[in-house]
């Protein structure tokens, strides 16, 4: 029998309390890394209502990875936890392995894209779903009653989705695992997709080295496509990028911009990026594994500055324990 919401909420609270050790923030002017306690991965950063938000995966074995928490902050230092904003009790088709959320606002609604069930073929049920809420902290409810993407297209496992609003107002969903990445244009109400002029729905934009964790941003007329390489449980997990004049590419790999540091932490990867509105200030949010940990699920969420050189290339990120300076949004 599928657990009810009250049972899942109790499980959520219990599992989080046995997560990673608490972090004591002695430096009130810096975020510190990790930014909040607990085993959390695949962090999606966003800015809503003059607040910073992080929507991570609760990092646990798939049978216990059945809910999402969120965290909000006004200054990147002090974070408020919002527990169990979505769980499998609210999604009839999701059974386990919920991960890698992506949240976007449209018409005063917040849409929460997520992967569930870790399907390995088209004969299994699951894939990418979408939930909706009136507030960024939820509670979110299943929007469609079924997956939005429930099959493999162009060899891409339906996981690690990222919702992106382009400069022309069109919305896209990038996603993919197993070394393939697709981009599809969302329809007006996010209930499906708009076919491209050639009749296809899912266009493959896979660059060399792509494994999973697609992310794209626009800056000064260029699209920066970023992704994770290596194995998520290994020390080779990292982030690389490419640049193009179009969200469809072509994307030619330039190099790595985030990876582990043997003196700090292992397996730095699966990131997102936020931009302070009205500025050229950027932050990269990612997960990594403490040097003391060997369990693949012992991952924590961290943040660093993301900077560009005078030619528009990304400057490789140095991971730190200090994190970033306090930054209160004024607009």
Under a CB-based contact definition with an 8 Å cutoff, are residues 305 and 324 in contact?
yes
CA distance 75 to 326: 5
Considering only the C-alpha atoms of the chain, give the largest distance between any 2 of them, rounded to a whole number of Å.
58
N residues, the chain: 331
Helix (H) or strand (E) holding 121: none
Neighbours of 99 (CB within 10 A): 20
CA distance 71 to 13: 15
- Asked about 189 being catalytic, the answer comes back as no
Structure tokens at 112: 């929460």
Contacts of 29 (CB under 8 A, 6+ apart): 77, 325, 326
User: Which is the catalytic residue, given 137, 212, 229, 304?
Assistant: 212
- How deeply is 107 buried, as exposed, middle or buried, from its count of CB atoms within 10 A (0-12, 13-18, 19+)? exposed
- Asked about 212 being catalytic, the answer comes back as yes
CA distance 249 to 110: 28
Catalytic residues: 42, 212
């Amino acid at each position: 029998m599928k657990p009810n919401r009250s049972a899942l909420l109790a499980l959520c609270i219990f599992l989080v309390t046995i997560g990673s050790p608490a972090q004591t923030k002695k430096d009130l002017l810096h975020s510190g890394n990790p930014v909040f306690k607990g085993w959390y991965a695949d962090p999606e950063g966003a800015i809503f209502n003059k607040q910073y938000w992080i929507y991570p995966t609760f990092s646990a074995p798939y049978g216990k990875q059945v809910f999402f928490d969120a965290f909000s902050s006004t200054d990147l230092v002090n974070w408020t936890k919002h527990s169990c904003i979505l769980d499998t009790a609210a999604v009839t088709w999701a059974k386990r392995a919920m991960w890698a959320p992506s949240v976007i606002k449209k018409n005063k609604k917040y849409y929460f894209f997520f992967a569930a069930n870790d399907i390995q073929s088209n004969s299994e049920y699951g894939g990418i779903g979408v939930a909706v809420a009136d507030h960024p902290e939820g509670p979110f409810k299943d929007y469609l009653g079924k997956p939005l993407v429930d099959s493999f297209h162009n060899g891409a496992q339906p996981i690690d989705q990222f919702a992106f609003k382009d400069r022309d107002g069109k919305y896209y969903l990038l996603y993919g695992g197993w070394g393939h990445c697709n981009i599809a244009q969302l329809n007006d109400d996010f209930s499906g997709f708009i076919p491209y002029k050639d009749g296809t729905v899912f266009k493959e934009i896979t660059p060399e080295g792509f494994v999973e964790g697609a992310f794209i941003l626009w800056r000064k007329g260029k699209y920066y496509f970023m992704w994770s390489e290596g194995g998520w449980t290994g020390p080779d997990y990292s982030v690389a990028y490419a640049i193009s004049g179009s969200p469809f590419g072509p994307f030619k790999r330039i190099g790595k911009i985030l990876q582990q540091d043997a003196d700090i932490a292992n397996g730095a990867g699966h990131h997102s990026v936020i931009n302070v509105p009205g500025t050229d200030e950027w932050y990269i949010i990612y997960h990594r594994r403490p040097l003391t940990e060997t369990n693949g699920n012992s991952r924590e969420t961290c943040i660093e500055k993301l900077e560009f050189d005078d030619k528009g290339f990304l400057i490789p990120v140095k991971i730190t324990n200090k994190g970033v300076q306090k930054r209160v949004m004024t607009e």
